[in-house]
Amino acid sequence: MHNSADASELSPRRRPTMADVAERAGVSRTLVSLIFSDKPGASDDTRGRVLRAADELAYQPDRAAQLLARGRSRTLGVLTDVKQTFQAEMIGTVYDAAEAAGYEVLLSASGPTRDERKAIEALLSHRCEGLILFNPLSESDYLRSVALRAALTIVGRGVPDATANTVRSADATGIAQSVEHLVALGHRDIVHIDGGEHAVSTERRLAYVAAMRRHRLDAFVRVFPGAHDEAAGMAAASVLLGEDVLPTAVMAGNDRCALGVMDGFTKAGVSIPDDVSIVGYDDSPLSSLTRIDLTTVRQDSAELARRALAFTVSMLDTADAEPGECVIEPELVIRGTTAAARPTSPEAGAPR
């Protein structure tokens, strides 16, 4: 602990309270309260006096006290990995939609160094009534317990048996389209780089395997461990480069990973798409740049965000709170990193 004198020493500038405002305006506390919550019961005259007094004191209602006194907080918590640009895009939409619905938004960041659970508990401790979690990787058990404490919406995965809303993009469709596209171009030796422990990764991985099977390419199925960042892609590329024969196509867990793969290959003199085709996932803003020109799967981030917010709010605002589920169809965006498979000799193309 710190020296207890702190409080007084450091805050000679104590926050002004409603009482201060009331005194300065020569009215009662109640009046100030009424006026600040825009309720009838105060004359325009006093209303003006009070607001002026508040302004002069730089008075600001204290959320903590409001929260305590009111039943509801009308606050929504959002868990996000700030470093994932795909999520960052959704945040803006969430803010706008929340404001329209009359809710405040609190952000909490998860990340490699920060415990996700702590981030969620922090949100809860601030009395968030609703929670929107982007790609949470906590175990389902825990998420179920969270669902008991707040209106929960999970973006990017489902949680069995939880009273939670689910919003996600149909990863299986996106992956299937990618495989389809590659197969149509003559590819058979198609490698998938996994996205790590996130639930979306699992889904994409399984979808990849299933799609390969459908095309009778069981023998070529190959999943590489990875993550959703450039470094993982580069690592995977360097391993692949060390092997006898390169695959003809690589499907990365997301765009950032794909960029890493491209980088590793390009550095090694492997030409894309002549030697190897690459497919990403997310259609991040960079994918469309000419220098990148990445074939990838587009998810409608704004729509995902809007639906997530709508679910959360409706669960809070309407009595019959049925948890909703929403799956948005993604779309393959074909660009310059995919082309016809390079010719491979029969044995070279064989699985290892």
Partner DNA sequence: TTGTATGCGTTATCAC
Partner DNA sequence: GTGATAACGCATACAA
155 vs 84: CA distance, rounded Å: 14
266 vs 230: CA distance, rounded Å: 14
CB of 44 to DNA, least distance (A): 8
Which tokens go with 133? Answer: 């979690």
CB of 321 to DNA, least distance (A): 21
CB of 5 to a copy of itself, least distance (A): 8
State which residue, 61 or 323, has the beta carbon closest to DNA. 61
Build a one-symbol-per-residue string for 213-252: x at contacts with DNA by CB under 7 A, - elsewhere.
Answer: ----------------------------------------
Picked from a copy of itself, DNA, none, the partner binding residue 29 (CB below 5 to 8 A depending on kind) is: DNA
21 vs 40: CA distance, rounded Å: 19
Which uninterrupted H or E stretch holds 249?
strand 249-251
Rounded to whole angstroms, what are the CA distances from 40 to 20, 47, 158, 167?
22, 10, 46, 40
State which residue, 22 or 261, has the beta carbon closest to DNA. 22
Which tokens go with 348? Answer: 């070279």
CB of 313 to DNA, least distance (A): 19
Picked from DNA, a copy of itself, none, the partner binding residue 316 (CB below 5 to 8 A depending on kind) is: a copy of itself
Q: Which residues contact 179 (CB under 8 A, 6 or more apart)?
A: 190, 208, 211, 212, 215, 251
Nearest CA among 178, 341, 331 for reference residue 258: 178
CB of 28 to DNA, least distance (A): 3
Interacting residue ranges for a copy of itself, rule: CB under 8 A: 2, 6-7, 9-11, 13, 15, 58, 60-65, 67-68, 71-73, 80, 82-83, 85, 88-89, 91-92, 95-96, 104-109, 111-114, 121-122, 124-127, 145, 148-149, 230, 259, 262-263, 266-267, 285-286, 289-292, 316-317, 319, 321
By CB under 7 A, residue 145 contacts DNA:
no
Q: Which amino acid is at 315?
A: M
By CB under 7 A, residue 104 contacts DNA:
no
322 vs 307: CA distance, rounded Å: 15
State which residue, 73 or 178, has the beta carbon closest to DNA. 73
Which of residues 14, 58, 243, 347 is near DNA by CB under 7 A?
14
DSSP string, 251-310: E-SSHHHHHHHHHHHHHTT--TTTT-EEE-SB--GGGGSTTT--BEEE--HHHHHHHHHH
Binding site for DNA (CB under 7 A): 4, 14-15, 17-19, 27-31, 33-34, 36-37, 40-43, 45-46, 59-62, 65-66, 68-70
